[in-house]
Amino acid sequence: MIRVQAEPYEFEFDPARTALVMIDFQRDFVYPGGFGESLGNDTSYLLKALPPAERVLKACRAAGIFVVHTREGHRGDLSDLPVTKYERGKPSLHIGDPGPMGRLLVRGEYGHDIVEEVYPIDGEPVVDKPGKGAFYATDMDTILKTRGIRWLIVCGVTTEVCVQTSVREANDRGYDALVLSDAVGSYFPEFQRVALEMIKAQGGIFGWVSDSESFLSALQVSHPDAVAAARAGG
Ligand code: C5J
């Protein structure tokens, strides 16, 4: 078992039964010109989460920890897009409208795909989800249960929307989730802080919170080469 310094208390996991879940590191959220910016957000806030998430991803890959990625988005014909989500916020651009990175939040478009730094490799399932939660209308639970996964290490964007929704869903399905505070990002610094507080409050009502360095230090004890390579950028 690997023990990570975390709040509200130590997070203990078996790497053979753990998945790293990389949530929605899509150009549409992280870069200007995508869905996130169309809602009036400053996307630069999210970029801060990428280097820590990349180190964690590389270390997990090298340590043989299972990796799953998610993407939020919709079918090209928008048949899985609720009218409520389409209309919400009265944005100047809607989901499905053309933007500089393709149609906003539509599967198969350049903007919908995952940024290069944390791009999936062979053997890492990509779960396409129409909603905020990674488990709603997806095969995420089947993928994890088939491998006997119990513990989740969570990185991604945005902290108070798709990350928190997915952690709540995971909690209800019997997973223990550890969220890495510097490897998740929000457009709103205050929401980032409060969303993490919510997860770990009441004795870890939804899960645990730590940071990428604490996670890597814990992994280093059993997998020194994997962590050294990730820290060196390998
Ligand atoms: C949002 C997400 N913020 N991936 N999606 O709309 O958090």
How much is the pLDDT for 212?
98
How much is the pLDDT for 59?
97
How much is the pLDDT for 171?
98
Q: Is the CB of 169 under 6 A from ligand 1?
A: no
For ligand 1, mutation pick of 21, 24, 166 (most atoms within 8 Å of CB): 24
Q: Is the CB of 182 under 6 A from ligand 1?
A: no
The rounded Å distance from CA 204 to ligand 1 centre is 23
User: Which sequence positions are flagged as catalytic?
Assistant: 24, 129, 162
Rounded Cα distance between 102 and 234, Å, is 32
**What is the pTM for the complete model shown?**
0.97
DSSP SS3 for 203: helix
Q: Is the CB of 37 under 6 A from ligand 1?
A: no
Count of CB atoms within 10 A of residue 221's CB? 10
How much is the pLDDT for 91?
76
How much is the pLDDT for 89?
76
The rounded Å distance from CA 138 to ligand 1 centre is 16
Residue nearest to atom 2 of ligand 1 (CA): 162
How much is the pLDDT for 233?
83
Q: Which atom of ligand 1 is nearest to the CA of 161?
A: 7
Query: Quick one: which of 141, 138, 157 has its CA closest to 149?
Result: 141
How much is the pLDDT for 8?
98
The rounded Å distance from CA 158 to ligand 1 centre is 5
Cα–Cα distances in Å, from 123 out to 67, 68, 69, 120? 8, 9, 11, 8
Rounded Cα distance between 214 and 185, Å, is 18
For ligand 1, mutation pick of 132, 154, 159, 168 (most atoms within 8 Å of CB): 132
Walk along the chain (234 residues) and give the pLDDT tens digit of each residue.
Answer: 999 999 999 999 999 999 999 999 999 999 999 999 988 899 999 999 999 999 999 999 999 999 999 999 999 999 999 999 999 877 778 999 999 999 999 999 999 999 999 999 999 999 999 999 999 999 999 999 999 999 999 999 999 999 999 999 999 999 999 999 999 999 999 999 999 999 999 999 999 999 999 999 999 999 999 999 999 987
The rounded Å distance from CA 161 to ligand 1 centre is 5
Give the containing element (helix H, strand E) for 60. Answer: helix 50-63
Q: What are phi and psi of 203, to 5 degrees?
A: 75, 20
CB 149 within 8 Å of CB 175: yes
Q: Which atom of ligand 1 is nearest to the CA of 158?
A: 7
Q: Is the CB of 29 under 6 A from ligand 1?
A: yes
Q: Which atom of ligand 1 is nearest to the CA of 72?
A: 4
The rounded Å distance from CA 226 to ligand 1 centre is 31
